[in-house]
Amino acid sequence: MNREGGSHKLRSSPRVSFIRSVRIKTGPEHSFLEYAAKDISTGGLRISSFDFFPINKWLDLQFKLSDADSILEVRGRVAWVHFDPVTHTYQTGIDFSSASAYKRGVIRGFIQSQ
């Protein structure tokens, strides 16, 4: 089963490995759950999970770029989803295009330091 939207093969920003925990909330009535991030760019984040998130679903994310950093809160939209039949997980691309210039700048600084 493969549910994709958008074009996750074409990147508008460079990505770097980002193996960290990300807390995600799918709506005001839900609590935050933890997921595994895989990589990050100024334009978005990729997570791996057993949960399916529909394309265009808005998510509230919380994560630290490093152990020393404070928690960064970003609202993102699911841009693409790919089911991996080997691991039985969903690779999900979350778009940060609605994030403030300041937050994108913080992420850009992190990426440039890698």
Question: 4-48: per-residue pLDDT in tens?
Answer: 444 445 556 788 999 999 999 988 888 999 999 999 999 999 999
- Greater model confidence, 44 or 98: 44
Amino acid at 17: S
Closest CA to 67 of 114, 21, 17, 16: 21
- Give residue 8's pLDDT: 47
Share of the chain above pLDDT 70, in %: 89
- The correct answer on CATH 1.10.3720.10 for the domain covering 16-113 is no
Sorted by where each begins, the domain ranges of the chain are 16-113
pLDDT of 103 over the 60 cut: yes
Alpha helices of the chain — where are they, by DSSP H? 101-113
